[in-house]
Amino acid sequence: MRYFIHLSYRGTAYRGWQTQAVGASVQSTLEAVLTQRLQQPVFVVGSGRTDAGVHAQQQYAHFNLDIPIDFSESLIYSINCILPEDIAIHGIFPVRANDHVRFSAISRYYQYHISRQKNAFCNGLTYHFRPELDMERMNEACRILLKYTDFKSFSKAKADVTHFHCRLEFAYWVRSEPDRLTFHIKANRFLWGMVRTIVGTMLEIGQERMSLAQFEQIILARDRTVAGRAAPANGLYLVEVAYPPNVTAHWPEY
């Protein structure tokens, strides 16, 4: 039987989603707790590999079991009691054998949060960035971004991919509070480090340290060395992983 896990986590204490040789990861922590509670080895696959320090409001993972198990509310509660406070499982449910959290997904949606004022309750959850930003110029850059599909300039150099094409559905900035800006971006796939590098480059545009023409040339260059530095991980959130109706038809509501 294959099961999907719907979970969320605060990434501050972890070296990212994927199991690492040194340091705790979300994947290894989840596997250890499920193995302990279910009394059999459990290996999980994630819908995406969030970097160290990146958070997930919605993440999916799957695992296989030889014997069917009823993941009742009480069983899930007991698993959550063993998990650290910064990882929460919202549901575990059976799916078809060929449903895959990564390859069946059709889109991912990220947000990046910037606070211009220090906030004692948001430490590690937003990027505290004091300089004034021209949000209209940053949204003009977003409109340029949407014209393209090749984002090699925003991918980490050692990305293990066969191509650098991503279909963006939207990209825009909003001022959600007087002192907070949020970047929204959704695509069918993302490259390693792509969102943080786009944000870091747009901060240059927002400070008028880079022109819109220069930004477009960065995209066309297909060269990571010409883009801005990546924004810190603590402001980035995976907020939605979407699947087609034939996958979600019998999913429970959470």
pLDDT value of residue 199? 97
Name the β-bridge partners of 242.
107
- pLDDT above 80: residue 160: no
What are the sequence ranges of the domains in the chain? 2-103, 107-239
* Secondary structure in 3-state letters for the chain: CEEEEEEEECCCCCCCCCCCCCCCCHHHHHHHHHHHHHCCCCCCEECCCCCCCCEEEEEEEEEECCCCCCCCHHHHHHHHHHCCCCEEEEEEEEECCCCCCCCCCCEEEEEEEEECCCCCCCCCCCEECCCCCCHHHHHHHHHHHCCCCECHHHCCCCCCCCCCECCEEEEEEEEEECCEEEEEEEECCCCCCHHHHHHHHHHHHHCCCCCHHHHHHHHHHCCHHHCCCCCCHHHEEEEEEECCHHHHCCCCCC
pLDDT grade for 177, boundaries at 50, 70 and 90: confident
CATH architecture of 2-103: 2-Layer Sandwich (3.30)
Q: What is the mean pLDDT of residues 48-54?
A: 92
Express each pLDDT in 74-120 by its tens digit.
999 999 999 999 999 999 999 999 999 999 999 999 999 999 998 88
pLDDT value of residue 159? 66
Q: What is the mean pLDDT of residues 164-190?
A: 94
Q: What is the mean pLDDT of residues 12-20?
A: 92
- pLDDT above 90: residue 9: yes
* Residue whose C-alpha is closest to residue 90's, from 209, 34, 170, 9: 9
> Was 112 annotated as part of a binding site?
no
Is 107-239 a domain of CATH 3.30.70.660?
Answer: yes
Distance CA 57, CA 6 (A): 10
Average of per-residue pLDDT values in the chain? 94
Q: What is the mean pLDDT of residues 190-199?
A: 95
Q: Is 2-103's fold the same as 107-239's?
A: yes
Q: Which residue in 51, 134, 150, 179 is the catalytic one?
A: 51
Least confident of 9-23, 32-46, 206-220: 9-23
pTM to 2 decimal places: 0.94
* Residue 99 among the catalytic residues: no
